[in-house]
Structures are given as structure tokens and as C-alpha cells.
Amino acid sequence: MRTIQKQYGITIREALSLDTVNRLQLVGGAGGLDRTIKLVNVIEVPDIMDWLIDGEFLLTTGYSFREYPELMETLIPRMSQSNSAALAIKTKRYLDEIPEEMIKCADKYDIPLLEVPFDLSFSEIIAPILGVVFNKQNKILQKLEQAHKKLMDLALNGSPLEELCKETGKLISNPVAIVDRDGFLIVNDDCPDKYKFELFFSESSIEIQKEKLRFGNIKEVKYSLEYASDTDKPLTIKAIRIPIIAAKYEYGHMVAIINNPIYEPDILTIERAATIAALEFTKRKAIYEIEKSYYNDFLEILLSSDFDNIEEITGRGRVFNIDLELPTAVVIINDQNLTEITEIQHYTNMNGQQSKEDLLKAINRFLKLNGIRNLIAGIKGNNIVVITGTDHSNPASSLKETVTALIKYLNESAATGKQINTGVGRSYTDIRQISRSYDEAREALKISQLSDQSQVIFFDNLGFYKILSEKNRGELERFVEELLQPVFDYDRNKKGDLIKTLETYYETNRNLKLTSTRLFTHYNTVLYRIKKIEALTGIKLDNPENALNLEIAINILKLFRNSSV
């Protein structure tokens, strides 16, 4: 059964109930009686085969069959390919009767084959059929015009996209929603089928069918998904997805879930609604670009401390929903200037950065979803820079809470599978110190990007790692290899655990007994491994200076592996 119904014409079954037309006799192809007639054509020339179209009802006296008998074998299969409606043949002039082979072919392809009485003219058949077809098409055009007017009124009145979805759903008698390019669902809250859209786009949905629409300008995917859970019965959801495009930029899709029969005019209505949605998205994009420019300009002023009037800057901050009288800190995300530091093969390279634009949009969504106001974000060079206010009573704790929630959101949504490195400066009550927090965040970020995985580094927690921020990764790797390469080689060749033992040894503050306990290894085994490390490196662990270098090398190695700082 077809999901998209035809409304432009009249079915063969309906046509055969009309006066005069009911004199035609069905001789074959009864399985196609529900094919739709959109127009009627008389064929008496052989090259008609090249012009067959969808929904065409063909009438003939069989003249061409007499001259070209091979047409009787090929016409009906070609009609099936073109989705023609039916074939009617007037006998007793050029054909005494309809050949049995044509009847069998009509049955095979479900193309209704009709016999026209000799005394019935083609005009008597064409007139009543086209009268019904034109009447239906006129009603459809009126419906489309009314739908277009309704949708244009929404656009001109600046109605929200939720309202556009609601009205489009009413026009096609099926619920409609919009999914933007970030996967955000836009649907009116009163929609009783909102849960179906949520299920449709959930990870629990299983695609059981996908097919292409071929209608008008629509060449999109129609889905049939099945949702299943441990407690619910499987729910099959059919939907049509039409792209929202403007200036070759895809903003998302308009989606209609098919609860009731849907017709070709309904597809046109959804397409027009998608065009109006594209206009709204274009307007939003333009506003976003302007706002982003204002935010970036204000960030530049704050980060450079290029201002004299503190009260004026504080007042401008309120316009951007940030209270600069609170302790304020800077957070930098994904400084791509430092991507060249991943260069040694035995460390996993970064698997790509989330685009700055996508991250910035994700941060704005995070603010909206969590109702956070005291934070602004923008793009500075290759960085996403965030300036956030903190709590007067406990700035450090407040800052950590905000940053942790933000980065968790980015990792789980906008930057899934991406490496997000973050540096966080300290909070200051004097807004002239925001530039200092920015410098601290950059230093923390350098350490964060030494890791091969996402990591958040707070400047307050850097400790001796502040020294490492002056070095690039290549220098640090050479430092590690010069000290520990013999140990690496031993572990690789002997399948040993010397590096792990040395890490645990420093983690337990050089306590051999505690090291053996943590490693679930006998004390003498740990002692043997320590002596082996000393022999391989030439470093005595009871020598403070040399032992410190070895400890630093181990900590750098842990940093590369994304151990927390």
C-alpha cells in the first residue's frame, strides 16, 4: 500500500462508474483498478512509446497495431515502467478482438485493459473523465493557495518556527516538526505526537525501511523506523523528511510523521513550509553573526584591558548578561595553534578538532538549557574564549563547577569523539586582571594540549608543570626518552612492568612496601625492579638531583597519557 496517496486524478475504478464510461468492459489487469488517471490521450502513431507519462489513460483503435504488431508486445510493459493508468482499445475496426497475449500481459503488470464498444466515440469517454479530473485539480490548487497564504501570513507576522510546525501539521492532517543541523528538535509543546518525534530521532530507533521521494522538487528520504524497548511494544513510525535549504546551506529538515493518509499536495505544502523555515533560519543566522561580532569586540576589550572607564565597561557587561563586579575568570577551549605538538608515533595523535563555530553554538545551547546568564563566549583567533563570573564566597569552587558542567556537555553532545583541551585561569575581582586570567588560561591550555585526550587544566593546579609550559612536546619527549628509553626497551622485550612500578613508586612517595601492596607484588620483586631501573638508567634513586629528573620524566609521561594534574 502506497504511503503517499494520489489526489490529482480519478481512479480507473471510479471512472468506470461514470455515465457512458461505464460501458467500457474490463478484459484484463483487474489488479490495477486503483491506478490514477491524470489525463487522457489518444494514440494512433507508433512513436507514442517515447512519450508515455505518469497517470496517462490511453485510448486507441488499434490502427498502429495493424501496421506495427510488435507494439502489442511492448506497449503494456512500457506503460508499467511509466506508471501509466490504463489502456482502452476500440475493436471491430482494425482489431476484431483484443489478443489473448495482451490480456495476459495486462494481468501480469496490473495495467487495466478495457474494450470500447464500437458505437462509443472517444470524446464521450474523455469528457466525463477530464471533467472530474479538472474539478479535483482545481480543488487542489485552491487548497494549495490557501495553504500558501496561511504559511506566508505566519512568515510575514514573524511567527516562531513552533507555530509554523503547528499550522503545517493542521494543513496536512499530520504532525510536523523541525530538526536543525545540530539535531535540536523544534515542535510546538501542544503537539500530542511530540514523543513520536523524540523516539524517531532517539538512538533506540531502528531503521527498517528507507526510500526516495520523487515528486516535484522533492528528492528526499522517506523513513520507516521501528522503536523498541524492554517494556514497550515495537512502534513503527513512518515519516517524511524534507531539507530546509537556503543559498546552498542546509539548516536542517522538516519532518512529518504519517499518522493519516498523505497526498502529493501535502508534500508540496511541507516543501513550502520548509522554504519559509529556511527564511527564518537565514534571519537567525544573520542576527547570530551580528551578535557574535559584538561579543567578540567586547571580549577583545576585556582581554586586552584596553579601557579607562571601569563603570562603562561594567555597564556594557550587563548588556551581555555578565556581572563584572563578581570575581571573573577566563577559560580557553581548543587552542589550535598548538596542534603541531603531537608528532611522535607512539603517542596517539589528536583525531581532529570540533569546528569553532559548532563549539560556540554548543556553548550557547548549554547556557540556554541550564539558564546560565553570567557567562559570555566568543572566538579569538584559533580559540574559543569564555569569560565567566564566579561566586564571591568561593570563587575557585564556583569556577570549577561551571567549567566541569560545560566541558561535560561539550564532550557528550557537540564534541562527541573529538578532543577538547581546556585551560582555565584564576578568577579576579578587578576586571583589569581579566587579561592576567587570560594569560594564565593560555599557560594551562599548553599543558592540556600535551595530552592525547581531552583534558581540563586549571592554572591553580599546575604546580611544577608551569615549567613545562615553556617547552614544546618534542622537547619534552626527548627529555623522557633520554632518561627512560632503556626501560621502555626492557619492558617491550621482556614484557616487564618497570615503568608501571616506577610510576607507583613515586605515587607512594618512594615507599617500597606500599608500592608492592598497590601492585599486588612481593616486596622483593619490587626491590629487584627498582635496582633494575637504576642499572638501566644509570641513576641512583637515593641521589636527590638525579631522582628528581626521573620523577619529572615519569610525570611528563603520565601527562601524555592524560593522567589528571
**176 vs 565: which has the higher pLDDT:** 176
Question: Which residue is listed with cell 510536523?
Answer: 176
Cell numbers that stand for 224 in this block: 520507516
Q: Fill in the amino acid letter for 507.
A: E
The values of phi and psi at residue 367, to 5°, are: -60, -45
pLDDT per residue as tens digits for the range 183-216: 889 998 889 999 889 888 887 788 888 887 766 5
Q: Distance between alpha carbon 467 and the CA centroid of its chain, in Å?
A: 42
Residue-level pLDDT at 337: 39
Q: Looking at domain 4-133, what is its CATH homologous superfamily?
A: HprK N-terminal domain-like (3.40.1390.20)
For residues 343-354, average pLDDT: 30
Q: Under DSSP, is residue 177 helix (H, G, I), strand (E, B) or coil?
A: strand
Asked if 281 contacts 246 with a C-beta cutoff of 8 angstroms, the reply is yes
Assess contact for 129 and 154: CB atoms under 8 A. no
Strands 39-42 and 56-60: what pairing?
Answer: parallel
Q: What is the pLDDT of residue 348?
A: 24
User: What's the start-to-end Cα distance of the chain, in Å?
Assistant: 62
From residue 169, alpha-carbon distances to 153, 175, 450 in Å are: 16, 5, 52
pLDDT in tens, 156-166: 888 899 999 99
How would residue 328 be classed by pLDDT, with cut points 50, 70 and 90?
very high
Q: Give me the mean pLDDT over the 307-324 stretch.
A: 89
Residue-level pLDDT at 464 = 62
* Model pLDDT, residue 66: 76
* Mean pLDDT, the chain, integer: 83
pLDDT at 442 over 90: no
Residue-wise pLDDT tens digits, 45-100: 777 777 788 889 999 998 888 777 778 888 999 999 989 999 999 998 888 899 99
User: Can you give the pTM of this predicted structure?
Assistant: 0.57
Predicted confidence band of residue 383 (pLDDT cuts 50, 70, 90): confident
| Residue ranges of the chain that CATH labels 3.40.1390.20 | 4-133
Kindly report, as residue ranges, where domains of CATH 3.30.70 are found in the chain: 305-465
Per-residue pLDDT averaged across 473-485, rounded? 79
Q: How many CB atoms lie within 10 A of CB 107?
A: 17
Domain 158-283 has CATH 1.10.1220: no
Question: Which parts of 238-373 fold into alpha helices (H)?
Answer: 264-304, 310-319, 356-370
Q: Which residue has the higher pLDDT, 26 or 4?
A: 26
Burial of residue 248 (number of CB atoms within 10 Å: 0-12, 13-18, 19+): exposed
Confidence at residue 113, expressed as pLDDT on a 0 to 100 scale? 96
* CATH match of 473-560 with 1.10.10.2840: yes
Q: Of 157, 168, 184, which is closest to residue 280 (Cα–Cα)?
A: 157
CATH architecture of 305-465: 2-Layer Sandwich (3.30)
Please list the residue range(s) of the chain that carry CATH number 3.30.450: 158-283
Q: What is the pLDDT of residue 35?
A: 93
Q: Is pLDDT above 50 for 175? A: yes
- Among 136-145, 202-211, 382-391, 492-501, the minimum mean pLDDT is found in 136-145
pLDDT band at 125 (very low <50, low <70, confident <90, very high): very high
Q: Are 109 and 134 in contact, with CB atoms under 8 Å apart? A: no
What percentage of the chain has pLDDT greater than the value 90? 30
Per DSSP, the three-state class of 492 is: helix
Condensed to tens digits (0 to 9), the pLDDT of residues 484-541 reads 888 888 888 888 889 888 888 888 888 888 988 888 989 888 888 988 888 888 888 8
Instruction: Please return the burial class of 37, using the count of CB atoms within 10 Å of its CB with bins 0-12, 13-18 and 19+.
Output: buried
CATH 1.10.10.2840 residue window(s) in the chain: 473-560
CB atoms closer than 10 angstroms to residue 24: 23
pLDDT exceeds cutoff 70 at 6:
no
State how far the Cα of 309 lies from the Cα of 505, in Å rounded to an integer: 55
Give the model's confidence band at 564: pLDDT under 50 very low, under 70 low, under 90 confident, else very high.
very low
**What is the rounded distance in angstroms from the CA atom of residue 230 to the CA atom of residue 361?**
35
